Amino acid sequence: MAERTFSIIKPDATERNLTGKVNAVIEESGLRIVGQKRIRMSRAQAEKFYEVHKERPFYGELVDFMTSGPVVVQVLEGENAVARYREVMGATNPAQAADGTIRKLYAKSVGENSVHGSGSQDNAKIEIAQFFTDSEIVG
Ligand code: CMP
């Protein structure tokens, strides 16, 4: 099976009607969107999802932001999907993101940075399982 990664189109992007534009960058990169749904993240979901950042000073702000509006959760599939999507997103801070990346094109700040992508294959499995059942992923 091709590798999979987990993606979130964040509230700053859904608010500006950028779902289609972000998806165009993803699809043009060769990654395939094999699962996708628009949801409102509950506080409990966001707190669990970002648990690794619990001790960071921005944790509260991050959970507030991720629950402030709709998000689109996605499963992306392709060769080296985890690393490939990190390239396609660009650096966490849009000021440092390379030209043509999603964050360079659309992110507003390090916090409101339009997209999330898994950091490793192990994390991708955990993150996908938090938001998708097997039957919601159609490869
Ligand atoms: P993400 O890939 O979703 O994973 C953790 C998130 O924390 C990251 O994207 C950023 O949006 C957010 N983040 C990282 N650093 C900061 C910061 N200094 N201030 C606010 N949010 C941050």
Q: What is the pLDDT of residues 90-139, one digit of tens each?
A: 999 999 999 999 999 999 999 999 999 999 999 999 999 999 999 999 99
Token reading at 105: 């094109």
Token reading at 84: 């490939």
pLDDT of residue 2: 92
C-alpha of residue 110 to centroid of ligand 1, in Å: 6
For ligand 1, say whether the CB of 116 is within 6 Å of any of its atoms.
yes
Which helix (H) or strand (E) segment holds residue 119: the answer is none
Question: What would the mean pLDDT of 1-16 be, rounded to a whole number?
Answer: 96
Q: How far is CA 24 from CA 30, 33, 39, 102, in A?
A: 10, 10, 20, 10
Single out the catalytic residue among 116, 117, 118, 127. Answer: 116
pLDDT of residue 134: 97
For ligand 1, say whether the CB of 110 is within 6 Å of any of its atoms.
yes
Q: What is the pLDDT of residues 24-66, one digit of tens each?
A: 999 999 999 999 999 999 999 999 999 999 999 999 999 999 9
pLDDT of residue 106: 98
C-alpha of residue 84 to centroid of ligand 1, in Å: 19
The dihedral built from the CA positions of residue 119, 3, 45 and 61, taken in this order, carries a sign that is positive
How far is it, in rounded angstroms, from Cα 138 to Cα 32?
Answer: 10
C-alpha of residue 92 to centroid of ligand 1, in Å: 7
Q: Atom 13 (ligand 1): residue with closest C-alpha?
A: 111
Token reading at 18: 């950028």
CA neighbor of 78 nearest in space, from 127, 26, 119, 113: 26
pLDDT of residue 1: 65
